[in-house]
Structures are given as structure tokens and as C-alpha cells.
Amino acid sequence: YMKGAQAAADVINKAGGVNGEKIVLVAGDDACEPKQAVAVANRLVDQDKVIGVVGHFCSSNTIPASEVYDEAGVIAITPGSTNPAVTERGLSAMFRMCGRDDQQGIVAGDYIVDVLKGKKVVVLHDKDTYGQGLADATKAQLEKRGVKAVLYEGLTRGEKDFSAVVTKIRAAGADVVYFGGLHPEAGPLVRQLREQGLKDVKFMSDDGIVTDELVTTAGGAQYVDGVYMTFGADPRLLPDSKAVVDAFRAQGVEPEGYTLYAYASVQALAAGFNGAKSNKGEDAAKWLKANPVQTVMGKKEWDAKGDLKVSDYVVYQWDKDGKYHQLEKQK
């Protein structure tokens, strides 16, 4: 996040900044804990006097933190919070640079049925707003396509021993396991599936595992080999991102995961303030809902809720070298 945001701020500042002033970035870490997110939000508003926020990441944090920003008239763009509730509460200045779980769940469910040919599908989640919301959206799409989950269960975040659930997966005769959640649990879960002999069971997850840290939490690339996940179309492959991607790589940084989402979020905030010729959040928000913005991820447009008008979820697969690649779109 921070690398992407800082790189965008540097470029915008060189071009004149926001309404003639330089962008100054202030960092906050909410550790994916809602109480901490509210504390961070209050600090950013009261002490740091921010006018715009790029964040948060976990939906369960973005939701309460955004109430603080809304009350203070601060505009926020989340690069990665996909739970529908983020933009469904009538807040006037809450935006996303990513899609929504109800869109992502449809793509995952269809892929499991059409490509993976899943007949006995296990749906797991981490009991969090994001993970469970996505598992439910995927399960709903599977049911719509005539596939009923043979097991639907929640894991506890922070847990590392999933032998009990692996035993249930084996007993259910599963051919596909779908997990709604993040990499700290996805890694050990897929490793234990493989170690306990369920090598032919296909494993699919979401944009919460889009990080090289998945390889670390799984204990090696050999365990993530073959894992599927949904994520927005790889922004590194877009013509609009070429110059920025080249600049990152020249510094020895691979702009993977959400780096370019954070970059584009800073671009959008700057465009909103400059377009409105105002440093007020509500003015920037009104401008963004009425005008497209050219970003590192292409042209972006938002609806009245702050959702992107077009979402571009596709399926990726991890390989034996611990890298992920976008798969061809299914016709």
C-alpha cells in the first residue's frame, strides 16, 4: 500500500500537487482489528487533520472507520475492501478502487462449476466480515448453478492447526475446497490438505491471498502450486500502467498485489480535489461521482454509492515457483 501511495504522491507533487499544495502522506496501521481501526481513524482526523484517506484494507475495519471519516467530512477510497456493506450504508464520500464480493462470488462460483467441474464442494470461511461475506456469495452462486456445498464451516482466525476440518473434508469426499479469508489461514490450510494426502482436491480462494506471503504461511511454493484465486485483472498488464511498473522495477520493487490499487487511489483523490478546486471531502466526492479519472489502472468511474461502474474479476493460479498468473478469461 504505502509504496504505491508514496510513488503516486511523488509524481503528483512534481506536477503541482493538490490545488497548489504538496501531498503529505500520514501512515496508520489498524492490524486488521476493528477497534484499532477506529482509533487510527480518530487520530488521522483529530491530530493529523487529513483531508483524504486511502484505506482501510480489511472490510471489518473499513466499515467502522468510514463512519469516523464521514462525520468529519473526510473522503476515503479503499483499495481492497470488497464487502458490499462498505458502500451500502449511504455514506456520501466512501469509494472503492476494487470490486465487490457479490461480483467476486459469482466469478468464483461459476469457475468452480464450469472449469473445475466441482460436484462436491466444501465452502470454508474465517468468520470475518470479508471472508464469510465472500464464502456466502460464492455458496449462493454455486446453489444457483445447482451445486450444494457438502460442508460449510467457519475457521478461527489465528488458528494454525486445521487437522479437524481436513478430516471432515476427506470424509465429505470433496473435489473442490473454497476458502473465504486471508493468507495467514489459507497457507496452513492448503499445506495440511496436501500433507494429509488430499493432493487432488482443488483449492480456490479470493483476493485476500493475493500476496507473496501466502508462500511463507504455507511453508513453501510446493504447497501453493495449483491454488486458484479471484482478483481484479492484473493491472501490471495494462498499457496505462507500463511507465509506473517500469519505474517500480527499476528500483527493484515488483508492484504486485495491491500496490497499483493504492497508487490509483491516490490519483483519484488528487483528481477529485483538483477537479472540484476544493480541499473539502464532500466536494471531491461529488466531482468523482460525476467525472471519470484516468489512473494507472485505466479509466475509472464511480456510481452514486461510490462503487466502480465496471468490475473486472478474473481467476489466477499459483505455480510451483510461488508466483501467480492470470488465467485466460472463460468465454
Dump pLDDT digits (tens) for 153-192: 999 999 999 999 999 999 999 999 999 999 999 999 999 9
* Residues 23 and 111 both lie in one domain: no
Q: What is the pTM of this model?
A: 0.90
Range of the domain at 61: 2-98+236-300
Is the pLDDT assigned to residue 329 strictly greater than 70?
Answer: no
* Residues 322 and 214 both lie in one domain: yes
- Output the nine-digit C-alpha cell for 224: 501453493
Residue 306 in any domain: the answer is no
For 32, the 3-state DSSP assignment is: coil
What is the pLDDT, as a whole number, of residue 328?
77
* 271-276: average pLDDT: 99
User: Which residue has cell 484516468?
Assistant: 294
Alpha helices for the chain (secondary structure H): 2-14, 34-46, 59-72, 101-114, 129-144, 163-171, 183-195, 213-218, 221-224, 242-250, 259-276, 281-290
Is the pLDDT assigned to residue 330 strictly greater than 70?
Answer: no
Contacts of 243 (CB under 8 A, 6+ apart): none
Is the pLDDT assigned to residue 86 strictly greater than 80?
Answer: yes
What is the pLDDT, as a whole number, of residue 109?
98
* Residues 179 and 126 both lie in one domain: yes
CA distance 315 to 306: 24
* Residues 118 and 227 both lie in one domain: yes
Is the pLDDT assigned to residue 314 strictly greater than 90?
Answer: yes
* 105-130: average pLDDT: 98
CA distance 18 to 16: 7
Is the pLDDT assigned to residue 38 strictly greater than 70?
Answer: yes
What is the pLDDT, as a whole number, of residue 307?
98
* 38-46: average pLDDT: 99
User: Which residue has cell 449462493?
Assistant: 140
Is the pLDDT assigned to residue 331 strictly greater than 60?
Answer: no
* 277-284: average pLDDT: 98
* Residues 217 and 140 both lie in one domain: yes
* Residues 93 and 240 both lie in one domain: yes
Q: How confident is the model at residue 255 (pLDDT cuts 50, 70, 90)?
A: very high
What is the pLDDT, as a whole number, of residue 311?
86
Count of domains for the chain: 2
* Residues 28 and 150 both lie in one domain: no
